[in-house]
Structure 1
């Protein structure tokens, strides 16, 4: 399988994987230039790790707020909508929605980007607890955590493509 991926023309590689990273096809475009890759996920996450801080922040900011405006108005990407639904974020009580909204606002005010977590590996309760806990981190630690979570999201999206 990896031999086939590495043999794809760059445009076909980008077309196949461009949606792995929320509104950030530049990651896949750069990974295409690194081929042959010994491991697709590792190559993709290396691009993110090696990116400039402003590019990493742009990638983080390209993600939607959990249970936020995009979820309410239906403008999430298909992948994000399915992921949020898998954790029950599309079925919240008014109290849960209020709590999510308050934590999202506090998080964005503190860090300047949305809270990122691999929701497929959590629950509503777990996500709320992680949001509260991670509000205590410093910004550099939180950027690193957000990028690791994006890596987990991408890993699961790749697995779903197989």
Structure 2
């Protein structure tokens, strides 16, 4: 449901969280903890505040946020159990139209990545096509765990910004 910045700035914590809680996958705490920082001058200021909240969270809470994201083209996608946002995002990258060979490649890459890092591979699917995602998976699996943790948070910020743009309408 679209909302305006002024309505968010005037909303109570419950309404603010209800409007923005989905921006960070299954982690409404980001919106809830950002609410006291109102008012926000514009969408960029709101997004920056949300990201500061995420970055200031304890590492275990950040890890839970990362782990809340589904595998790309994974079991939940195959069973049509993704959030509406994740479904649209994965579809925008063509992940809902994979050949058997591509699906096998994604499954292999997801499994290898999760075995190495203990969390799913995260990339802003709306900004990438399936070939670029597979290439990034093959490259990033060679990164250090700390680099990947930081990269995952950065990708989550991109995802949240696009989701915010979807929900925010002009005053």
Cα distance in 2 for partners of 1:83, 1:156 equals: 10
Query: Which of the numbers 99, 102, 107 marks the counterpart of 2:105?
Result: 99
2:147 matched residue in structure 1? 141
Q: Equivalent residue of 1:18, what SS?
A: helix
Displacement, 1:122? 0.3
Query: Which of the numbers 54, 61, 71 marks the counterpart of 1:65?
Result: 71
CA RMSD of aligned residues (A): 1.0
Point out which structure has higher relative CO (alpha carbons under 8 A, 6+ apart).
2
Cα distance in 1 for partners of 2:65, 2:118 equals: 13
* Structure 1 residue 119 corresponds to structure 2 residue 96: no
Displacement, 1:2? 3.5
Cα distance in 2 for partners of 1:44, 1:159 equals: 14
Q: Equivalent residue of 2:23, what SS?
A: coil
Larger deviation, residues 83-92 vs 9-18: 9-18
1:74 matched residue in structure 2? 80
1:152 matched residue in structure 2? 158
Deviations 1:51-73 (A, max 9, x none): 11000000000000000000011
Query: Which of the numbers 7, 29, 38 marks the counterpart of 1:35?
Result: 38
Cα distance in 2 for partners of 1:132, 1:122 equals: 15
Q: Tell me the TM-score normalised to structure 1 length.
A: 0.96
Runs of 4+ in 1 over 6 A off after TM superposition: none
What count of residue pairs does the alignment treat as equivalent? 162
Displacement, 1:11? 1.2
Q: Tell me the TM-score normalised to structure 2 length.
A: 0.91
Displacement, 1:125? 0.3
Mind listing any 5+ residue stretches in structure 2 that lack a counterpart? none
Displacement, 1:19? 1.0
Cα distance in 2 for partners of 1:147, 1:104 equals: 17
Mind listing any 5+ residue stretches in structure 1 that lack a counterpart? none
Cα distance in 1 for partners of 2:34, 2:40 equals: 8
Deviations 1:12-55 (A, max 9, x none): 11111111111111111101122233411001000111011000
